[in-house]
Amino acid sequence: MTKQFYIYTFGCQMNVYDSDRLRDALIHNGWTLSSTPDTADLVVLNTCSVREKATDKVFSELGRIKKKKKDTTKIAVIGCVAKESGKEIYRRAPYVDYVYGPQAWHLLLHNLAKDFRDIDVDTHGVDKFDELPMATDTAAAAFVSIQEGCNHFCTYCIVPFTRGREVSRPFDKVMDEVRHLVKLGAIEINFLGQNVNNYQDDNGKNLADLVRETAKLDNVQRIRFTTSYPTCLTDELIDLYRTEPKLIPFIYLPIQAGGDKTLKRMNRRYTRDQYFAIIDKLKAANPNIQVSSDFIVGFPGESDADFEDTLDAVRRVRPIQSFSFKYSKRPHTGAALLPDQIDPDVAQDRLEKLQTLLKDIQREFNESCVGQKIKVLVEHVGRDNPNIIICRSENMQTVVLPKDESLIGKIIEVEITKANTTTLKGQLC
Ligand code: SF4
């Protein structure tokens, strides 16, 4: 009987991508995917440390797994918490067999057959990609990781400490993966990186080169990239929103705060006016472009006036999707040492005000789509409601249609009949 594995994935799209690649590699090596961790021979926790108390959450998850697992089950903790607290996990949880940081989890593939515990939380650049087999299947919307790590050191962020400094995969290897995924049926390519628009390989190829080369593939119908840093968005990339119809008119461009004093304390390397100027350039390149953004409230030293600046920035940019959080202290980061930490009740109050505004804007935009005909990619049958199919618009809105499985994996035109803050309802045109 083949050995079975189960993977828990926490956090961002890059972790989802890593888990998918690990899944493919394990299947390639003869393992099968288990529907439950309780009977699996290997349980992997792919962890994220962006939010507070991430290590505590991993320990509580490990405790749960330990109670239910078979005696012979091996446990691996990989990802950013492994990088941040790996030595503590290795010491405090002797039943954990492997602890590998975000750039070392490929070592699991070598060491699974051996009977020893192992820990490696070092930075290995992009070596892991060379060790992984190509995917054996793909969704119509495929993800391709092209860059890891970050050099920006925003003062609230732990990523430069967990994922290391920026490294980019070679252009040719990325394109090999893209062509392979397209052969398997991908029609949308999503390039991933912590600072994706700063992608640059050793031969000077950049993200604009990748977008242009990918657009040449006949079967590719949509291209997008996540996550962009505002001042790394070059004129060359912005111009592609004018010239390259396959590049979808939607960009995830976190501003984080709307006031210059807060931006400076965050070590974000732009002012609010510079951010607005970038949005203006994008809109000039393609008036249909829509923006998604991130916001942090309650950052140390944030005054009422600074918070009003954030609300004002939201009204100006009108992001149609967003992620918003209360600031939380992360170890190693500069902001954890800043004076003037904000009272949690004040931060909570600001978050609620901000989210009310963001939701209003998102709902207004979604409602403005009612009666319009838009193109959507049909992704899958509803997980909670098997009578519907879930689709994604070019603006990353969730669109639901009555179930027709023959449409899965296709881009079709639908008419929007109803909308609320999170979802659009459509019908076939
Ligand atoms: S740009 Fe800032 S927030 Fe984004 S990963 Fe880098 S350090 Fe973190």
Residue 282 CA to ligand 1 center (angstroms) comes to 22
User: Quick one: 153 and 299 in the same domain?
Assistant: yes
Quickly count: other Cβ atoms within 10 Å of residue 421's Cβ.
14
Supply the pLDDT for residue 49: 83
Output the average pLDDT for the chain: 93
pTM for the full predicted model: 0.90
Supply the pLDDT for residue 382: 94
- The CATH number given to whatever domain includes residue 113 is 3.40.50.12160
Q: Residue 94, SS3?
A: coil
Residue pLDDT, tens place only, 359-389: 999 999 999 999 999 999 999 999 999 999 9
User: Quick one: 55 and 150 in the same domain?
Assistant: no
Question: Residue 88 in contact with residue 111, Cβ under 8 Å?
Answer: no
Residue 359 CA to ligand 1 center (angstroms) comes to 25
Quickly count: other Cβ atoms within 10 Å of residue 319's Cβ.
24
Residue 133 CA to ligand 1 center (angstroms) comes to 29
Q: In terms of Cα–Cα distance, which of 91, 163, 102 is closest to 128?
A: 102
Residue pLDDT, tens place only, 112-146: 888 789 998 887 766 778 878 888 889 999 999 99
What domain range is 383 assigned to? 373-428
Rounded Cα–Cα distance for residues 322 and 55 (Å):
26
User: Quick one: 174 and 156 in the same domain?
Assistant: yes
Supply the pLDDT for residue 162: 85
- DSSP lists the bridge partners of residue 296 as 325
Q: Which of 229, 256, 296, 330 to mutate to test the pocket of ligand 1 (most atoms within 8 A of CB)?
A: 229
Give the number of C-alpha atoms closer than 13 A to the C-alpha of residue 126, restricted to the C-beta side.
18
Residue 267 CA to ligand 1 center (angstroms) comes to 10
Report which protein residue has its CA nearest ligand 1's atom 4.
194
* Ligand 1 and 153: CB distance under 6 A: yes
Report which protein residue has its CA nearest ligand 1's atom 1.
152
Can you give the three-state secondary structure of 27-41, one letter per residue?
Answer: HHCCCEECCCCCCCC
User: Quick one: 215 and 90 in the same domain?
Assistant: no
- The CATH number given to whatever domain includes residue 159 is 3.80.30.20
* Ligand 1 and 160: CB distance under 6 A: yes
Supply the pLDDT for residue 84: 85
Supply the pLDDT for residue 116: 84
User: Quick one: 172 and 74 in the same domain?
Assistant: no
Choose the final residue of a domain: 334, 368, 402: 368
Residue 100 CA to ligand 1 center (angstroms) comes to 22
Distances (CA, A) of 150 to 14, 197, 228, 346: 13, 11, 11, 31
- The CATH number given to whatever domain includes residue 381 is 2.40.50.140
Supply the pLDDT for residue 14: 84
Choose the final residue of a domain: 78, 93, 127: 127
Choose the final residue of a domain: 93, 127, 161: 127
**What per-residue string of b and e applies to 15-51 under the rule 16 or more CB within 10 Å gives b?**
bebbbbbbbbbbbeeebeebeebeebbbbbbbbbbbe
φ, ψ of residue 86 in degrees (nearest 5): -55, -45
Supply the pLDDT for residue 318: 98
User: Quick one: 230 and 311 in the same domain?
Assistant: yes
- Under-70 pLDDT residues of the chain: 125-126
Helix segments in 29-145, DSSP class H: 54-68, 80-92, 107-111, 127-131
User: Quick one: 380 and 289 in the same domain?
Assistant: no
How far does Cα 366 stand from its chain's mean position? 23
Q: Relative to the CA of 268, which ligand 1 atom is closest?
A: 2
